[in-house]
Amino acid sequence: MTRAFSTDMSAPMRRAVALVLIVGMGVSVLLAAGVSMYASDEPDGLERVASDTGIVETEQDSATADSPFADYGVSGLQDQQWTVGLAGVVGVLVTCGIAFLLFRALARGSGEPDQADGNPDG
Amino acid sequence: MHVPDGFIDAPVSLAAGVVAAAGVGVCLRGARRSLDEATAPLAGLVAVFVFAAQMINFPVGAGTSGHLMGAALAAILIGPYAGVLAITVVLLVQALLFADGGLTAIGLNVVNLAIIPVLLAWVVFRLWTRVLGQGRPSIAGAAWFAGMLSVLGAAAGFAVEFALGGTAPVDPTTVATAMLGVHTVLGAIEGVVTALVVLAVVGVRPDLVAGLRRSGSGTAPALPERVEA
């Protein structure tokens, strides 16, 4: 991650960015790995409206429904709490990898952002 | 609010896909101009934080839950171009890895959850802080209102798509009313979280916040020059 910083960034700015990054990443990992096991299982706004109105009957399974991480779980891992947390860590790592590569490529004005954007699981 | 496969017919899904691709294309070009060494890692962090926060569904009563959408937060912190891209990365990871949001609905979801709310939030936040200033109460109010409107905009986006291409025989007005009703509550909460996170970053370093930069559209932030100014 330190390679994202150039040498011409001022020291106070570098410290501020580092602080925000460290705190932000820490909070994100805590949320995805830990707090997620206490998340509500109740339907969200759209799901609630869909089930109240009957739209839900037109729902089809996603083509990725067989993904080993489908519905924020790890297939084969039964423990309801650990499976969500582990899926959360995987999601954070994958999102982190794609997003940092994409934005670094864009900031340098080089690279192939379209490719990085289109292959999130690659 | 991720649309699954099947809710919206193929033509409207396809049209949304075209709009989404065009929007993401514009944002790739815009972000190339606006991102620099300081803001690029922050944009990455925003994507990670939004992914993590979206896993945390909190109950809002009446057997319904909500989670942070994050579009307003992304817009305010890293600007509209990088904001749309950050949310789009999250949506792609969710659809491909976690089967959250349909693959044929990816265009609908990018339009509803990235393009519409990021643009709305950006315009609202910029206008508000231009008129009422950049004091903390003004920033808090602007962030809250941007968060609120971003969620309502996303809900309205789905309502319009359902009216145009909903596959279920349900009155579109009923759907629109229900969507906006539920999401008024969720939007109010979104606004509070958005304001708290924006204030936290402002406390560390206001010049990291794209929405507060004088340059306007989030381009040419000229960060190093403003250090210790």
Whether the CB-CB separation of A111 and A105 falls below 8 Å is answered with yes
Which residues is B64 bridged to in the sheet? B61
Of chain B residues 150-179, which have a CB less than 8 A from chain A? 155, 158, 162, 166-168, 170, 174-175, 178-179
If one counts every other C-beta atom within 10 angstroms of the C-beta of residue A17, the result is 24
CA distance B108 to A112: 25
CA distance A104 to A82: 33
Number of inter-chain CB pairs under 8 A, A vs B: 259
CA distance A78 to A81: 9
Residues of chain B below pLDDT 50? 216-229
Domain hosting A118: range is 89-122
Of chain A residues 25-44, which have a CB less than 8 A from chain B? 25, 27-29, 31-32, 35-36, 39-44
Topology given in CATH for the domain delimited by B10-215 = Arp2/3 complex 21 kDa subunit ARPC3 (1.10.1760)
Q: What pLDDT was estimated at residue B215?
A: 63
Whether the CB-CB separation of B77 and B218 falls below 8 Å is answered with no
Question: DSSP letters along B93-160, please?
Answer: HHHHHH--S-STTHHHHHIIIIIHHHHHHHHHHHHHHHHH-SSHHHHHHHHHHHHHHHHHHHHHHHHH
Does any domain span residue A84?
no
Nearest neighbour of B170 by CB, restricted to A54, A67, A98: A54
Q: What pLDDT was estimated at residue B203?
A: 92
Place of tokens 């909903």: B166
> Which of B12, B57, B20 shows the shortest CA–CA distance to B159?
B12
Rounded alpha-carbon distances, angstroms, from residue B108 to A107, A115, B52, B156, B168: 28, 21, 22, 12, 17
pLDDT tens-digit readout, A44-79: 999 999 999 999 999 999 989 888 898 898 988 877
Chain B residue whose CA is closest to A11: B227
Q: What pLDDT was estimated at residue B155?
A: 97
Q: With an 8 Å Cβ cutoff, is B85 touching chain A? A: yes
Q: What pLDDT was estimated at residue A49?
A: 95
What is the Cα gyration radius of chain A? Answer: 19
Provide the Cα torsion B51, B53, B59, B65; round to 10°. -30
Nearest neighbour of B98 by CB, restricted to A4, A55, A87: A87
Q: What pLDDT was estimated at residue B222?
A: 40
Helix axis angle, B71-98 relative to B136-165, nearest 10°?
40
| Pair of tokens at residue B15 | 């049209």
The DSSP output letter for A32 is: I
**Tally of domains within chain A:** 1
Does any domain span residue A109?
yes
For chain B, domain boundaries: 10-215
Does any domain span residue A107?
yes
**Higher confidence at residue A115 or residue B58?**
B58
